[in-house]
């Protein structure tokens, strides 16, 4: 009795404590937003139609806030610029869009939606039934089986811990009774273990489950309509893409949409949901890392659709957490069966470098499996591209310099919101790309396998069910993860990431940062930068969506304003001309690279090709005679592409890289960065020849390149174009910082000689080495200091079997492989191979003046 009373009292105390914390947190947020910051601005914004303006004069009367908080912070010596740009044709700013708000009074006698447009919008937007799935998962027989499996696993571990291998041997002999007796003696109870695992299953599902509901969606939607304009000038979507999504859902009503965005900011979670809700599209369940399970915000995200998953599924290396995997697998499958749309971030975390990360296949694999085993008839994968003119979360410079990530916390979230509300982050852009049907993807994968004559690779649902019994032992849902399934998942995920990256709109800050880093590291006059922006826009038009429009000079001023005085300086020279320059610090270059890298994948192939071309050019008396054969160039460039295999996805799985290189080569010929013998000799200036080459490139499709190459033995050689060394240099500059990181990693391998090292220590060693090279000036790229690229290079070296990585109690230990341990020469050949991708700007052909 006493125990019951005490338990009850404890429960009450716990609930009150938690409730108290939640209430106090909400009160704190309200205090921050309304009392200390922009209360009048927000209040005026809440009731736009009541004409409450927030002019500074009004504010000074009520004397609550310093007016300097209300204007964009701008250093006094910088020129004033407009604080927004046009966001492109065919797009809409969601902040200004309330399709469900009221009719104008003269159209309808009274509509309260006219007075309260945002309330009307969120109340009238379409409501969907969001079924909870936790209970269904809990009752699933597969989960029960997984609980048993986990219990048996623990039982074996406990027996081993208490008895060593003695009892395991006995167990194998099948002496069940004797074993149970022995267990009892040693205090091991299978029933107790089973109960614990049952409790664990309940707690996993409780931690994981989303509570997506219309009420919270509507409330948050309204709040966002009010708060977003405080720090974003627009949330831009493409009208046609939204229509396309609506049509897709109308055409196949039972088919779930799987939104797959590239992850840039924590804000992505709520923004995709907010846009969909306000366009009357069912909000998705969103796979979120459990690092976001922080007080208040975790609950809020859960109500908006987040289901939390562990960042590391198997906490103990080499031991599968069968129960957790089964719970996650079942949660997703049942969510799809219950008609939920799903969203997940295929890269796992947010990009630290600004370019896409390599995809992770786990969640996609579960979705494909749900289709393969007939749980769902089909699903539409929607690649989503997200971009911000300025990143709201802050920058990732610390982490790139090798420091640890500061974990998410309530305090950090509050201070982030506080900082955001005081700043201007420009535009946010979201593009929803053409959906792929999983059914069609699987069919086309099979078609390719059949065409290749590889019938064993053909992937059929029935074959799969026969091959592998349904089980819970992997996130893949089968005991054996078959090779063709892995290939299929890898192909789809690479295709999604490639398409997302290609469809990401270029923002003003991306373009300016790219130009500053690749062409004007020492600064440029505003006029010259504007002209370079014009050129860049021309070169991108038709192949990349540009998220801004208007005069380039205005765009330059606007983007510099957004990047801020911490990243770019604007000063007048002795002639009164405005000079724009990157701030000369490691931090500012790393941050500028984040913005610039959005464009890097687009130029990666031409950069590899041209850098390879320069590395192959022989030293001759007359540089104009230096020639390289086309085949040699393409073959070597292909090898160099392999060096970047963990850094960039250079082609879709359906594209042949070699063909893409040939196409890039044609582009370089057209732009005059490379010449051919005929073009150079017979056609002065190469103009006519370029036109010819252009026409040829236009009428060739990918297959034709094979025929063209068939006759390449008598092909003209490729010659150095002495008239365009500057353009050639700009292209090579695109990947030069990555090349420097890679070569530094390769050079650092020698410290592993007869010496294993923790991976994290080796990474710090390389980062320190890079930092001193930058300090000394031997490496001119401060952005080469990049933990991410160091890691990618280590993956490459592991793939090449230059290093071995082993796990020791959760720590990654790296050492040289025997061949490289024994032979210095072999190690040097690796350094040489990687050094070939570093453009040599101080020697060779770049120094030629036209």
Using CB under 6 A as the criterion, which residues of the chain lie in contact with ligand G3P when the complex forms?
A: 266, 288-289, 291-292, 349-350
Distance of CA 216 to the CA centre of its chain: 27
Please identify, using beta-carbon distances, which residue of 244 and 292 lies nearer to ligand G3P: 292
> Is residue 539 helix, strand or coil?
helix
Please identify, using beta-carbon distances, which residue of 223 and 292 lies nearer to ligand G3P: 292
Please identify, using beta-carbon distances, which residue of 301 and 752 lies nearer to ligand G3P: 301
Please identify, using beta-carbon distances, which residue of 308 and 595 lies nearer to ligand G3P: 308
DSSP string, 332-389: HHHHHHTT-EEE--TTSS--SSSSPPPP--HHHHHHHHHHHTTSSS--EEEEEEEEES
According to DSSP, residue 37 is labeled I
Sign of the C-alpha dihedral, residues 560, 561, 567, 573?
positive
Q: Is 841 exposed, middle or buried (0-12, 13-18, 19+ CB in 10 A)?
A: middle
- Cα separation values, 682 from 131, 624, 675, 688, 737, Å: 72, 14, 12, 10, 38
Neighbours of 755 (CB within 10 A): 10
Q: Is 835 exposed, middle or buried (0-12, 13-18, 19+ CB in 10 A)?
A: middle
Nearest distance from C-beta of residue 310 to ligand G3P, angstroms: 10
Please identify, using beta-carbon distances, which residue of 120 and 288 lies nearer to ligand G3P: 288
Please identify, using beta-carbon distances, which residue of 266 and 614 lies nearer to ligand G3P: 266
Nearest distance from C-beta of residue 343 to ligand G3P, angstroms: 11
Structure tokens that stand for 626 in this block: 């230096």
Please identify, using beta-carbon distances, which residue of 266 and 325 lies nearer to ligand G3P: 266
Nearest distance from C-beta of residue 43 to ligand G3P, angstroms: 32
Q: Is 626 exposed, middle or buried (0-12, 13-18, 19+ CB in 10 A)?
A: buried
Cβ atoms of residues 112 and 102 within 8 Å = yes
Nearest distance from C-beta of residue 427 to ligand G3P, angstroms: 21
Sign of the C-alpha dihedral, residues 374, 376, 378, 383?
negative
**Pairing between β-strand 284-289 and β-strand 341-343 as defined by DSSP bridges:** parallel
CA distance 436 to 496: 9
Nearest distance from C-beta of residue 787 to ligand G3P, angstroms: 13
Cβ atoms of residues 547 and 505 within 8 Å = yes
Closest by CA position to 285, among listed 403, 134, 404: 134
Cβ atoms of residues 102 and 113 within 8 Å = yes
Strands, sheet with 674-676, edge to edge from the N-terminal-most edge strand: 627-628, 718-720, 674-676
- Cα separation values, 242 from 247, 274, 281, 495, 660, Å: 9, 13, 9, 22, 31
Closest by CA position to 759, among listed 799, 791, 719, 727: 791
Nearest distance from C-beta of residue 128 to ligand G3P, angstroms: 24
Please identify, using beta-carbon distances, which residue of 393 and 667 lies nearer to ligand G3P: 393
Please identify, using beta-carbon distances, which residue of 270 and 579 lies nearer to ligand G3P: 270
Please identify, using beta-carbon distances, which residue of 331 and 371 lies nearer to ligand G3P: 331
CA distance 613 to 636: 9
Nearest distance from C-beta of residue 111 to ligand G3P, angstroms: 40
Strands (E) in 239-372, as ranges, are 257-261, 284-289, 306-309, 341-343
Nearest distance from C-beta of residue 595 to ligand G3P, angstroms: 17
Nearest distance from C-beta of residue 268 to ligand G3P, angstroms: 8
> Is residue 558 helix, strand or coil?
helix
Nearest distance from C-beta of residue 396 to ligand G3P, angstroms: 9
Nearest distance from C-beta of residue 352 to ligand G3P, angstroms: 8
Please give the backbone phi and psi of residue 764, each rounded to the nearest 5 degrees, phi first: -60, -40
Please identify, using beta-carbon distances, which residue of 290 and 771 lies nearer to ligand G3P: 290
Nearest distance from C-beta of residue 287 to ligand G3P, angstroms: 8
**Pairing between β-strand 674-676 and β-strand 718-720 as defined by DSSP bridges:** antiparallel
Please identify, using beta-carbon distances, which residue of 208 and 288 lies nearer to ligand G3P: 288
Please identify, using beta-carbon distances, which residue of 288 and 567 lies nearer to ligand G3P: 288
- Cα separation values, 383 from 246, 359, 671, Å: 15, 13, 32
CA distance 662 to 664: 5
Radius of gyration for the chain, computed over Cα atoms and rounded to the nearest angstrom: 30
Cβ atoms of residues 188 and 162 within 8 Å = yes
Closest by CA position to 749, among listed 685, 826, 690: 826
Nearest distance from C-beta of residue 306 to ligand G3P, angstroms: 9
Maximum separation of any 2 CA atoms in the chain, in Å: 104
Please identify, using beta-carbon distances, which residue of 598 and 679 lies nearer to ligand G3P: 598
Nearest distance from C-beta of residue 384 to ligand G3P, angstroms: 14
DSSP string, 436-490: EEHHHHHHHHHHHHHHTT-GGG---HHHHHHHS-B-SSSTTSBSS--HHHHHHHH
Nearest distance from C-beta of residue 224 to ligand G3P, angstroms: 18
Structure tokens that stand for 38 in this block: 């922009």
Please identify, using beta-carbon distances, which residue of 119 and 475 lies nearer to ligand G3P: 475
Please identify, using beta-carbon distances, which residue of 266 and 519 lies nearer to ligand G3P: 266
Closest by CA position to 241, among listed 228, 253, 227, 257: 257
Please identify, using beta-carbon distances, which residue of 170 and 350 lies nearer to ligand G3P: 350
Nearest distance from C-beta of residue 288 to ligand G3P, angstroms: 5
Nearest distance from C-beta of residue 232 to ligand G3P, angstroms: 19
Please identify, using beta-carbon distances, which residue of 11 and 312 lies nearer to ligand G3P: 312
- Report the residue closest to ligand G3P, judged by CB: 289
Nearest distance from C-beta of residue 271 to ligand G3P, angstroms: 13
- Cα separation values, 626 from 189, 332, 585, 662, Å: 80, 59, 39, 20
Please give the backbone phi and psi of residue 772, each rounded to the nearest 5 degrees, phi first: -70, -30
């Amino acid at each position: 009795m006493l125990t019951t009373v005490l338990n009850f009292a404890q429960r009450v105390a716990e609930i009150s404590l938690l409730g108290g914390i939640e209430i106090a947190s909400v009160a704190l947020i309200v205090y921050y937003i309304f009392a200390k910051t922009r209360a009048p601005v927000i209040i005026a914004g809440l009731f736009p139609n009541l004409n409450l303006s927030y002019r500074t004069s009004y504010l000074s009367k009520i004397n609550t806030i310093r007016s300097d908080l209300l204007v964009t912070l701008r250093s006094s010596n910088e020129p004033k610029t407009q604080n927004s740009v046009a966001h492109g044709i065919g797009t809409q700013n969601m902040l200004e869009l309330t399709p469900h708000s009221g009719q104008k009074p003269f159209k309808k006698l009274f509509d309260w939606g006219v007075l309260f447009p945002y309330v009307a919008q969120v109340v009238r937007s379409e409501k969907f039934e969001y079924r909870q799935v936790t209970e269904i998962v809990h009752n699933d027989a597969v989960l029960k089986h997984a609980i048993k499996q986990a219990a048996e696993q623990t039982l074996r571990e406990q027996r081993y811990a208490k008895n060593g291998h003695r009892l395991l041997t006995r167990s194998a002999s099948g002496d069940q009774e004797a074993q149970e007796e022995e267990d009892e003696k040693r205090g091991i109870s299978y029933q107790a273990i089973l109960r614990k695992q049952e409790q664990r299953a309940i707690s996993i599902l409780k931690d994981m489950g989303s509570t997506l509901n219309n009420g919270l969606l509507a409330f948050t939607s309204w709040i966002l309509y009010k708060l977003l304009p405080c720090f974003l000038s627009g949330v831009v979507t493409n009208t046609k893409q939204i229509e396309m999504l609506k049509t897709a859902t109308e055409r196949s009503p039972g088919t779930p949409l799987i939104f797959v965005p590239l992850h840039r900011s924590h804000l992505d979670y709520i923004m995709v949901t907010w846009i969909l809700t306000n366009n009357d599209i069912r909000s998705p369940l969103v796979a979120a890392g459990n690092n976001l399970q922080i007080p208040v915000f975790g609950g809020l995200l859960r109500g908006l659709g987040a289901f939390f998953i562990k960042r590391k599924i198997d906490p103990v290396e080499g031991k599968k957490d069968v129960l957790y995997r089964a719970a996650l697998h079942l949660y997703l499958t049942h969510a799809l069966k219950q008609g939920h749309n799903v969203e997940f971030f295929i890269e796992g975390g947010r990009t630290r470098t600004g370019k896409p990360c390599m995809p992770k296949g786990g969640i996609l694999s579960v979705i494909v499996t749900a289709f393969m085993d007939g749980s769902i008839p089909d699903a539409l994968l929607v690649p989503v591209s997200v971009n911000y003119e300025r990143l709201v979360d802050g920058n990732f410079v610390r982490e790139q310099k090798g420091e640890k990530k500061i974990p998410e916390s309530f305090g950090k979230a509050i201070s982030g919101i506080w900082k955001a509300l005081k700043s201007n982050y420009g535009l946010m852009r979201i593009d929803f790309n053409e959906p792929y049907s999983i059914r069609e993807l699987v069919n086309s994968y099979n078609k390719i396998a059949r065409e290749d004559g590889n019938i064993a690779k053909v992937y059929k649902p029935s074959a799969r069910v026969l091959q592998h019994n349904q089980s819970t032992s992997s996130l893949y849902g089968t005991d054996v993860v078959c090779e063709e399934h892995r290939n299929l998942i890898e192909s789809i995920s690479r295709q999604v990431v490639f398409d997302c990256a290609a469809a990401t709109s270029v923002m003003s800050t991306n373009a300016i940062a790219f130009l500053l880093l690749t062409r004007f590291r020492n600064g440029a006059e505003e006029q010259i930068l504007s002209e370079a922006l014009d050129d860049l826009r021309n070169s991108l038009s038709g192949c990349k969506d540009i998220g801004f429009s208007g005069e380039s000079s205005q765009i330059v001023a606007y983007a510099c304003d957004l990047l801020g005085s911490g990243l770019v300086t604007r000063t007048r020279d002795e002639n009164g001309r405005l000079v724009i320059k990157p701030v000369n610090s490691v931090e500012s270059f790393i941050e500028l690279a984040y913005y610039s890298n959005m464009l890097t994948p687009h130029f990666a192939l031409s950069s590899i090709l041209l850098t390879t071309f320069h590395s192959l050019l022989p030293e001759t008396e007359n540089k104009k005679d230096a020639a390289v054969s086309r085949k040699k160039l393409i073959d070597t460039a292909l090898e160099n592409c392999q060096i970047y295999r963990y850094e960039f996805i250079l082609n879709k799985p359906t594209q042949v890289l070699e063909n893409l290189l040939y196409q890039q080569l044609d582009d370089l010929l057209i732009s005059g960065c490379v010449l051919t013998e005929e073009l150079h000799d017979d056609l002065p200036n190469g103009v006519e020849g370029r036109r010819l080459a252009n026409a040829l490139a236009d009428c060739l499709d990918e297959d034709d390149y094979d025929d063209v190459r068939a006759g390449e033995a008598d092909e003209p050689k490729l010659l150095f174009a002495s008239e365009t060394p500057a353009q050639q240099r700009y292209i090579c500059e695109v990947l030069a910082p990555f090349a420097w990181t890679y070569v530094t990693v390769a050079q650092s391998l020698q410290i592993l000689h007869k010496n294993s090292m923790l991976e994290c220590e080796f990474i710090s060693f390389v980062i320190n080495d890079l930092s001193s090279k930058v300090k000394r000036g031997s490496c001119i790229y401060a952005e080469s200091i990049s933990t991410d690229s160091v890691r990618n290079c280590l993956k490459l070296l592991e793939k090449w079997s230059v290093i071995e990585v082993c796990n020791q109690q959760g720590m990654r230990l790296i050492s040289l492989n025997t061949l490289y341990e024994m032979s210095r020469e072999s190690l040097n050949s690796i350094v040489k191979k990687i050094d070939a991708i570093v453009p040599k700007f101080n020697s060779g052909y770049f120094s030629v003046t036209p």
